[in-house]
Amino acid sequence: MNDCIFCKICNKELSSDIIYEDEYCVCFSDINPQAKTHLLFVPKVHISSISEMEDGHELIVAHLIKIARNVAKDLKLPGYKLHIAVNKEGGQTVFHIHLHLLSHY
Ligand code: AMP
Ligand code: ZN
């Protein structure tokens, strides 16, 4: 997906402040934060939406949640919200799956 901004961030074609990366995902700060801490967890594989998941993709989505938990622990966040917008009608604006982490801390 050459025109996908999150693929470009994963491929380092677009800069972002990546704070965690592994074989399967990256984590970086949201460019327009809606909370004191607002991070995005993005799989390196392009999947446009939760509604477009195929067999096996659940492992990738579960990995995003696990890594969000780990990063939150590293940042010593006492609490946070995780959310995924699904489709335009659900508020999704970037069509590459991403997990938001929002915290007041
Ligand atoms: P959503 O509306 O759930 O699809 O979330 C997309 C999020 O991506 C929004 O919160 C945007 O602020 C964020 N965003 C868009 N472009 C960038 C970027 N280049 N770097 C970091 N975050 C971005
Ligand atoms: Zn993509």
85 lines ligand 1 (CB under 6 A): yes
The pLDDT assigned to 85 comes to 98
**Which residues are identified as catalytic?**
98
Q: Where are the domains of the chain?
A: 5-103
Distance CA(28)–CA(55), nearest Å, equals 26
pTM over 0.85: yes
pLDDT 10s digit of each residue in the chain, 105 long? 579 999 999 999 999 999 999 999 999 999 999 999 999 999 999 999 999 999 999 999 999 999 999 999 999 999 999 999 999 999 999 999 999 999 999
5 lines ligand 1 (CB under 6 A): yes
32 lines ligand 1 (CB under 6 A): yes
Which residue stretches of the chain are H helix? 5-10, 57-74
Q: Which CATH class is domain 5-103?
A: alpha beta
The pLDDT assigned to 2 comes to 72
Closest CA to 65 of 78, 82, 48, 49: 82
Residue ID of nearest Cα to ligand 1 atom 13: 30
CA dist list (Å): 89 to 30, 51, 70, 93: 21, 12, 30, 10
Ligand 1 pocket mutation, candidates 3, 39, 40, criterion most atoms within 8 A of CB: 40
